[in-house]
Structure 1
Amino acid sequence: MDLSLLLFSLKKLAAAFALPPLLPLLPIALGLALLGRFPRLGRTLGWGGLALGLLLSAPASVGWLVAQVEDPAPLSADAIRNADAIVILGAGRRAYAPEFGGETVSRLALERLRYGAHLARATGLPILVSGGAGPGKTAEAVLMKAALEEDFGLTVRWVEERARDTRENARYASAILGTTGMRRILLVTHAAHMPRAQAEFEAAGLTVQPAPTGWLGNHNEPAAENSWLAELPNPHSTYAGWFALHEALGRLAYRLSR
């Protein structure tokens, strides 16, 4: 048995329990199960889980959480001029895509690829895509390369297809670029993921210019006409809460494992 694969699977299992929807549902379920024998404890757990679920889906509380993890600044023109290459990180795959003849990149990965393609056209810099896969699956980087070349008409210089997480993205990308002498990169990933990704790539010896995309926070967005409706939990805020908590826990785990 591959020990590294086992540890990676255990990490993913732990993350499933530490994130919505299981995170608030578990205390609710446990509270209901305990109501008969321990009514006070059962009610506390049930109401606590409900409160946690609301905090992780209400726009006001989610907005605060997103602000703690998201890189608010877009890439500057000066930073673009001081780079050797563009590195685009994977963000999952869509396994069932019969309209494309099989697999393709996820919508999150497509957001990153679109911005990476925009930067590549503006700068002419070479592109490295990074993202691995589980056993028997097509590496994310292979799907990313296909999307960039077929859909955006760009050439991908390097394909890093072993990485299973952000730390490995950084380690393996650095090893590839190290053979070329290129150490200054424009790093493309989601704004909420950028601080963690930047820290890992810099620890791997690269000089990083953050090139975030896909902001989850409503930065400088005017209030909606029915602003009270905008404060109710909704699909966007629920997803943003999941993403922000995922990043907060990811940063903590990486700090503890250094």
Structure 2
Amino acid sequence: MQMAFDSALVLFWLKKTVSIMVQPPLAPLLLIVVGLLLAGRRRRGGLALAWLGVAATLLLSTPASVGWLLRGLETAPVVDAAGLRQAQAIVVLGAGKRRNAPEYGGETVNRLALERLRYAARLARTTGLPVLVSGGTPTGATAEAFLMKTAMEEDFRVPVRWMETASLDTRQNAEFSAPQLHAAGVRRILLVTHAAHMPRAQAAFEDAGLQVIPAPTAWLGGTGTGDQVLGELPGPTTAYAGWYAVHEWLGLLTYRLTR
């Protein structure tokens, strides 16, 4: 039996591959490897390229430089009471899934999605607003939105009214969620996602015709009260935050170039 060609899925994985190539840790490692290979013929240029890769690795895992990258992304404040009163629904975006979760019988949401769901559940209990979960099926057989709905209802005891199961990226989260919300008369949403992801997500949902009240969660940078990025030396926590910051800046650039 011949499998159908899914151009959207092919494009998704092409984007993912390019994204991995230009982000840490692979991008700095490639600079180092290419530099060392060139050093045999062009010593100065090759070593300069290799040292550039080393410098990039350090900058993207050091709190001071990573914090600087995050400050331009994590600009939305914690949602206030006035914002909660204005919203008509809560939209929570998927962030991936854990495919090997035998204790859950197969697939489940990953820890990033769980952070978003936890905060969305708190907002839903506080406001009584209906919830939409958004996430498609780039891998596996189960849409991420279905796994999000399961976690929301079984683990947090919060009902989910709408599921958007076709999206493969943030832009599609907005494009495919908006018709369901508009059909229900919803125009103003509480948008729940990571603080660093909020600028890109808010732009996508506003372009889809919705008024967005940002409800960010899971700050990675320092906010004056948190402990997300600590210490003065490079470490794994900061390296992860550095990857996330680069991912979001590249995503913002791509979004603005293709709007």
Q: Is the 8 A contact 1:71 1:212 kept in 2?
A: no
Match of 2:239 in 1: 238
Match of 1:155 in 2: 159
CA distance in 2, matches of 1:70, 1:136: 32
Quote the offset at 1:34 in angstroms.
1.2
Q: Aligned to 2:242, what secondary structure does the other structure show?
A: helix
Match of 1:17 in 2: 21
CA distance in 1, matches of 2:76, 2:219: 8
Q: Is the 8 A contact 1:59 1:237 kept in 2?
A: yes
Match of 1:35 in 2: 39
Say which of 84, 94, 97 aligns to 1:93.
Answer: 97
CA distance in 1, matches of 2:90, 2:98: 24
Q: Aligned to 1:163, what secondary structure does the other structure show?
A: coil
| Percent of pairs with identical residues | 60
Counterpart residue identity of residue 245, structure 1: V
What's the RMSD between the two structures over aligned residues?
1.5
Match of 1:52 in 2: 56
Match of 1:120 in 2: 124
Q: Deviations over 1:74-131 (max 9, x none)?
A: 0011000001100000000011111111111000000000000000000000000000
After TM superposition, the score normalised by the length of structure 1 is 0.95
Match of 1:204 in 2: 208
Quote the offset at 1:205 in angstroms.
0.2
Match of 1:226 in 2: none
Counterpart residue identity of residue 231, structure 2: A
Q: Which runs of 5+ in 1 are unaligned?
A: 224-228
Q: Aligned to 1:156, what secondary structure does the other structure show?
A: coil
Q: Aligned to 1:192, what secondary structure does the other structure show?
A: helix
Quote the offset at 1:136 in angstroms.
4.5
Counterpart residue identity of residue 7, structure 1: L
Match of 2:174 in 1: 170
2:187 counterpart of 1:187: no
Match of 1:248 in 2: 249
Q: Deviations over 1:20-64 (max 9, x none)?
A: 111100010001111211111110111010001111111110000
Q: Deviations over 1:128-148 (max 9, x none)?
A: 000001265211100000001
Quote the offset at 1:72 in angstroms.
4.3
Q: Which runs of 5+ in 2 are unaligned?
A: none
Aligned residues: 254
CA distance in 1, matches of 2:225, 2:186: 38
Q: Aligned to 2:216, what secondary structure does the other structure show?
A: strand
Match of 1:62 in 2: 66
CA distance in 2, matches of 1:191, 1:148: 20
CA distance in 2, matches of 1:46, 1:115: 42
CA distance in 1, matches of 2:32, 2:215: 40
CA distance in 2, matches of 1:243, 1:134: 20
